[in-house]
């Protein structure tokens, strides 16, 4: 008499369910796309307000100021007129300084990636971060990121590099603003949050219908 066939265990069904649970994304892709889109739009709107570089570097419009108050007055007017150009110069000085120090650039990029993937754009329904078999809450992750940021900024060359690059850029801006004659500039009325505010407008709150919120 033939023996009955052994029952088939549903191993594949259980494994498939576990794989589906483990593959849940830990980062909110729509929030990241929204942030990058708003950042790109803000940069384009701000750069649209820049003054011609030929006007910024017009050699016939430079003269030594008569006094310290005259230099301060020129600087104030030139800051209002060449605001976007000056911000671009600061960004260029910072970028050039980081490119000439690749180790500091890699550290800074790794730090930004940690903030983006572990906190800023982490999905609300993502499982808690687990390290060494211990789960960490969002508050603990935030405290760890702040501590790591302080260590990277103050115990490595990243902090001094950023500060020195910004100081060099600010010195160039101050010298140019003090020696550039503002008499030929048309200082039109601009809203206080004009180009500079538009450059940082991506940090503001998004409309309710635009997608998931970003923790910034």
Distance from C-alpha of 204 to C-alpha of 9, rounded to nearest angstrom: 54
CB 116, CB 142: distance < 8 Å: no
Residue 186 lies in a domain: no
Residue 25 lies in a domain: no
Range of the domain at 77: 62-179
Closest CA to 164 of 103, 88, 104, 124: 104
Closest CA to 55 of 147, 206, 192, 184: 184
Number of Cβ within 10 Å of residue 172's Cβ equals 15
In the prediction, which pLDDT does 194 show?
52
Residue 166 lies in a domain: yes
In the prediction, which pLDDT does 187 show?
58
Spell out, as residue ranges, where the chain has pLDDT lower than 70: 1-29, 32, 46, 184, 186-216
In the prediction, which pLDDT does 55 show?
86
Residue 160 lies in a domain: yes
In the prediction, which pLDDT does 149 show?
93
Distance from C-alpha of 121 to C-alpha of 135, rounded to nearest angstrom: 19
In the prediction, which pLDDT does 72 show?
93
In the prediction, which pLDDT does 208 show?
40
Angle (nearest 5°) at CA 172 between 98 and 52: 95
Residue 193 lies in a domain: no
Q: For 47-50, which contacts have Cβ atoms below 8 Å and span 24 or more sequence positions?
A: 47/84, 47/88, 49/83, 49/84, 49/194, 49/195, 49/198, 50/84, 50/85, 50/88, 50/195
Residue 146 lies in a domain: yes
Tokens (6 digits) for 57: 């570097």
What's the pLDDT tens digit per position in 125-144?
A: 778 888 888 888 888 989 99
In the prediction, which pLDDT does 27 show?
67
In the prediction, which pLDDT does 186 show?
63
How many domains is the chain built from?
Answer: 1
In the prediction, which pLDDT does 95 show?
92
In the prediction, which pLDDT does 22 show?
43
Distance from C-alpha of 195 to C-alpha of 49, rounded to nearest angstrom: 6
The CB-side HSE value for 91 (13 A sphere, CA atoms) comes to: 10
Residue 191 lies in a domain: no
What's the pLDDT tens digit per position in 106-117?
A: 999 999 989 888
Residue 52 lies in a domain: no
In the prediction, which pLDDT does 156 show?
86
In the prediction, which pLDDT does 169 show?
93
């Amino acid at each position: 008499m033939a023996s009955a066939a052994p029952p088939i265990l549903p191993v594949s069904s259980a494994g498939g369910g576990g794989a589906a649970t483990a593959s849940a994304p830990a980062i909110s892709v729509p929030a990241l796309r929204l942030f990058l889109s708003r950042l790109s739009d803000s940069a384009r709107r701000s750069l649209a307000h820049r003054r011609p570089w030929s006007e910024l570097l017009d050699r016939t419009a430079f003269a030594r100021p008569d006094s310290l108050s005259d230099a301060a007055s020129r600087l104030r007017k030139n800051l209002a007129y060449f605001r976007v150009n000056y911000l671009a110069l600061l960004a260029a000085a910072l970028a050039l300084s980081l490119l000439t120090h690749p180790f500091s650039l890699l550290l800074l990029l790794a730090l930004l990636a940690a903030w983006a993937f572990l906190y800023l754009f982490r999905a609300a329904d993502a499982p808690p971060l687990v390290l060494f078999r211990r789960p960490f809450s969002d508050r603990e992750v935030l405290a760890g990121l702040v501590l790591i940021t302080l260590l990277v900024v103050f115990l490595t060359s990243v902090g001094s590099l950023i500060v020195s690059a910004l100081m060099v850029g600010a010195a160039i801006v101050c010298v140019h603003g003090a020696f550039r004659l503002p008499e030929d500039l048309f200082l039109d009325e601009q809203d206080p949050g004009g180009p500079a505010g538009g450059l940082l407008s991506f940090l503001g709150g998004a409309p309710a219908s635009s997608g998931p919120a970003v923790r910034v």
